[in-house]
Structure 1
Amino acid sequence: MSEAVRNALERRFLSGELSDCDVVFCVEPEHACCAALTEPYTLCTQADGRVLVGAPLPAHLRILCDGSELFPAALERWRADAADAGGEGEGGSDGGTTEARPAKRQRVTAAAAGAAGGPERPQFTVGLWAPGERRLAEALLRFMYCGGLRLHSMADLLRARPVALRLAVEGGVQACDGGVRAALAAAKAAGSEAAHAAVLDVYHCRAVLPEPADAAGADPTGPALLQDVLAFCREALAAHCNHVYPDAATPDAAAAAAAAGAAAGEAAAAAPAAAGGAGVAPPAAAVAAAGVVVPVAAVPGATMGEQPGGGSGPPLGELLAFAFESVEAVFAAHSTYNHLRSLPPQAMEALLASESFATDDEASVLLLVAVWRGADRRCDTPAGQAAVQRLLRNIRWPHVNDAFLLLCAPLVPWLGMSLQRAAWLSVYGRAATPEQRAAMERAAAAAEHSHFQLDAPGHRAPRRPAAGTMTVNLQVQVLVCVQTTVPLSRYVFLARGFTWHVCVVRRGEKLGVALACLKDVYGIPQSTPMGVAFPGQDVVLSVLGADGEVAHSVPCGSANGGEGIRVGSAGTPLLLDWEDRAAEGEARWARYLRAGELHFRVEVRS
């Protein structure tokens, strides 16, 4: 289509020129209670409870019907209703039927249609969830006319996307996706400040972001867009945190800080006053000049996870929890893993203090700290060790599972967990009432067990949100390789503080899928016996068939019949059946292959 034709069609939009129908916007009944919150248009409540938003919009049947599959169906209903109304007017009620008429969700009542131009002019209803969506719906209707989406801000593009899904606008969702990606690319090119501003825009619109892959439903492009948006947010936040908190924990900076002595401490303590009062984090320049790393919680008047330099934005910890989602998500992608390891101590401290960061078990958060600690040699310096100890104060020890708490934690020197404290925490975590926990705390305080750290922020914090199901795709070439030469192929996930691998193993001539539990992240010698561990209470390992349904499954949890896996080894494999023993290569496993891959799933229910 030429540009001149596009411009001519766009000029017809809203003009009424040669229009042959009308579009009426109304708030859906289940959302009508919120209609008074926004008034960009005149609102009118009808007798049936629907809230009309603004005046009808003149439109053109051919363009609407070509641009969305909803309008042809609505037009057929309107024609059928018009024919029924004409028949009733001529023949009265003698020849009528008692059958239910079609739903009226996508059209207005006959009275409203007559008021807007008579029954001979079709009138369609577009349902909104809020009055402010009319502007977005109009932009999508304009897109039907000219093929251009006249929305530019991140908020508008993200909020228009679910409207495009509901209206089934052909190409509308893809146009929104392209606009979001273009906005992210422009923000990234403009620098760290613009990128951080884009992160804030995305965070404020997080309720309308697409669903993850396991709940995408009728939104096939949504999961990919969500991953692109979160990847941008992680990269931008990592850069922002390293800019706001320049790392002074390097060996050279640590030596300079030690030489500065009390002067550095006074400079850091005076930073809030210089910044303009309580509740404001010290400027990055003041912290860098002092030669020390000052945790947010150590600044008088500041709160953990507070947005640096402001106070009006969302807490830094909540931004990080939104971008990194969960402990499991951190290890699901190499780029996510690297972005987290690059975070400065203050950002890690804010993330661990967040109430939105999800995990299967609090012990897995410890594994995250271990990985972050091992990524930087500066953690061996006094400043680095102090930063690690601040992170450990945000660990919610009463929610760590007993297997990790009693078998692993006392063996890791940098955790500072004695057997006495581990046993006390195990009993404390199982206490049935707050009164029992309070009595245990009083007894520990009376015995002067200061190393129990009862004043730590994580001690009384609630359990973190739970994570869910993990699906792993294995290319068929790996199966062939394992069957011929390689004895083991591993795909990592985290559970209950241990690194677990989904292993493809060979048993004679057969192949199987098994779970293996490793302990190398904490620096514990492989020869140290540590007993049996479970990835959860209700865990199922499944191999999926070519149809996507479960072909084989085995329980692996402590409460659903799992046998347990010795730490440092693999469990009993779930063997695959050959489709054809005489076949070669991938043809042997044809019953399992979907798009050339074997799919197996680890479902952690609790």
Structure 2
Amino acid sequence: MSGVVTRGVGAAIPALFGAQRDSDCDVLFCLERRKAGEGAEGGEPSDGWETQRKRRQRQPETALSWAAAVRAEPPAGALVGEPLPGHILVLRLASERFRAQIERWDGGAGEAAVQGAEASPSSAAPRPQLRVPLGSEAEVPSARAALGYAYTGVVAADGVRAALEVRRQAAYLQIDGCTAACDELLVEMLAAGHSSRGGRCGGHEPTFAPILAAAKEALVRHFGDVLAALNTPSLRQQLLQLPAAGVEALLASKAFGTDSEDSVLLLLATWMKANHGQTDAATRERLCRLVRLVQLGRPYLTAVLPALAADHEHCGAAGTEKDQLLSFGGQLYDTKSPCYSTAARPQCLPWAGRTFEWAISQQELLAALGELQSKGRVSVHGSFVGGSRLLCARGLEWKLFLLVKYQATSADICMDCDLPAAYDVVGSRLGSSSKAVTIVGLEAHLVVHGWSRAARQDAYGYTFRAAPAHFGLGRVLTQTGARCPTALPLAQQQQAGRGGGVLKGWAAYLHDRRLTGTLTLLPAP
């Protein structure tokens, strides 16, 4: 039954679902048997339960799949959930599986029941029992919902995960029209931005292709672009929890934008360092081939990739972690790889740039100034949204900090960059003892806020351009970054100490006990 009959007798069918009225059978939910070759209910061959169970275990996870919690379950064959009153006419027409069970009952158990009734007229004939084997008790609601579609023509699911589970049960029970209805509902949900925290469904069926496509689109919409995924703490944590299929969907998407391909490689390196143990060599190679090598910028081509390639050639020196991130440097030099695509990804930075707010708390500033006299000068780092001291851009990690000298009449504001920790793998030439050196640039506009009578203004602004060599990248360099001397004039010479008096020179920059500003990343010319 592919839909609801809305006129005549058919209009009464939806109301029969779950009702004892006019019911003539019972639908029982039970745990499937686990031993190969063991029959299902009443002599059903194992090709029903056992083959389906194995098929479920082999189903690949999609971009929407997350690990489900394991719960202790009753023994195999035990009944779970409440029996559901059934109506033979409806179930016979709605499901080939139920039709086969009903025919077996009519040809076997039904005849025995009739013979028993003739021998003992006072005994009532038993109602047919139609069994639904489940993998766990948690599957009862989705199985009931699949049966409900047979009566109502409506998929009762309030989210992607629930719809996926109903779809799986409907496919197993062969409920006519239900899988197609689930597919339509899933496409609508994903298009509307619904998310899923679990659920499995076979990905090999042709009808499931639109769901996979919609899931990938929803995944890209959720993460936005590479900069959002790396610089938003919640998204970054979710990125690390994605299965390999999810990362593959992001990197393979034509709509997944970035500021540069360097950041794409950083995203992959960040995920791979956290998930290496959950991947095999073939998966890692497949993911690495999605990085578009010819689109990488000068710092990566001149420093990062050669080091990764050398690590790959001498991976024996990497000890027990030799199969980690180091290996994919060599894979990138396979000229047969799709990573040699000449098409650039969508630029995620608009012409006006993307702005990130930063702040230094009054408490942090005061603590740094308390050590000023003994050190001669101190630095205090700004924090971006989410509390991170680092901002990922151009495949590197950028830091912003103030430099304050004892008895100075102004403070300097500085920016620095470094190779991300994702590349710091034991034995790698990009590890903590790296001597890789290259020149990098950044297009960005830096602002420090000032305040006058509660009105905010730009007390300082400076635009970085990549044409001049502003930054040096390398762990052994003693001086890196760009410094803007005398950027912030102070109302009085800076003194040392921990009392509130040391902050008098900063009054023009402090508001709500914070010094604030913005860093606007601009697209490369």
TM-score (norm 2): 0.49
TM-score (norm 1): 0.43
Structure whose CA Rg is larger: 2
* Larger RCO (CA under 8 A, 6+ residues apart): 2
